[in-house]
């Protein structure tokens, strides 16, 4: 499970292909960037250009385009991205 600063997300996913065995999952929390009342719509609002929203959009694009993983994005809480290694 990956949480915290946006830098943690990119670093964790960069290591995931090497560290995870087939069928293992990595879960990213708060990927919709709804972590505060001032989130201005987070990732879902294209006009929102705060650092966390930009980082989460980049993470979503990177993880979902990686053919080594099957992904699912859920709106649970502030957003969960689950990536399972093929």
What region does 77 belong to: left with phi over 0, alpha with psi -120 to 50, or beta? left
pLDDT digits (tens, 9 = 90+) for 38-80: 567 788 888 888 888 999 999 999 999 999 999 999 988 889 9
In this prediction, what percent of the chain has a pLDDT beyond 70? 94
Residue 51 is predicted with a pLDDT of: 87
In a domain, 75, yes or no: yes
Is 20 in contact with 66 (CB distance < 8 Å)? Answer: no
Is 28 in contact with 58 (CB distance < 8 Å)? Answer: no
In a domain, 77, yes or no: yes
How many folded domains does the chain comprise?
A: 1
In a domain, 68, yes or no: yes
In a domain, 1, yes or no: no
Q: List the domain range (segments joined by +) for residue 28.
A: 6-85
Using CA atoms, how far apart are residues 49 and 41, in angstroms rounded to an integer? 10
CATH number, domain of 78, equals 3.40.50.150
Here the tokens at position 45 are 């609002």
Here the tokens at position 21 are 């065995």
In a domain, 34, yes or no: yes
């Amino acid at each position: 499970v990956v949480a915290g600063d946006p830098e943690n997300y990119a670093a964790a996913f960069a290591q995931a292909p090497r560290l995870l065995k087939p069928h293992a999952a990595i879960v990213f929390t708060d990927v919709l960037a709804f972590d505060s009342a001032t989130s201005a719509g987070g990732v879902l609002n294209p006009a929102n250009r705060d650092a966390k929203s930009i980082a989460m959009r980049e993470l979503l694009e990177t993880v979902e385009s990686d053919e080594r993983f099957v992904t699912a994005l859920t709106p649970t809480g502030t957003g969960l991205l689950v990536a399972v290694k093929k």
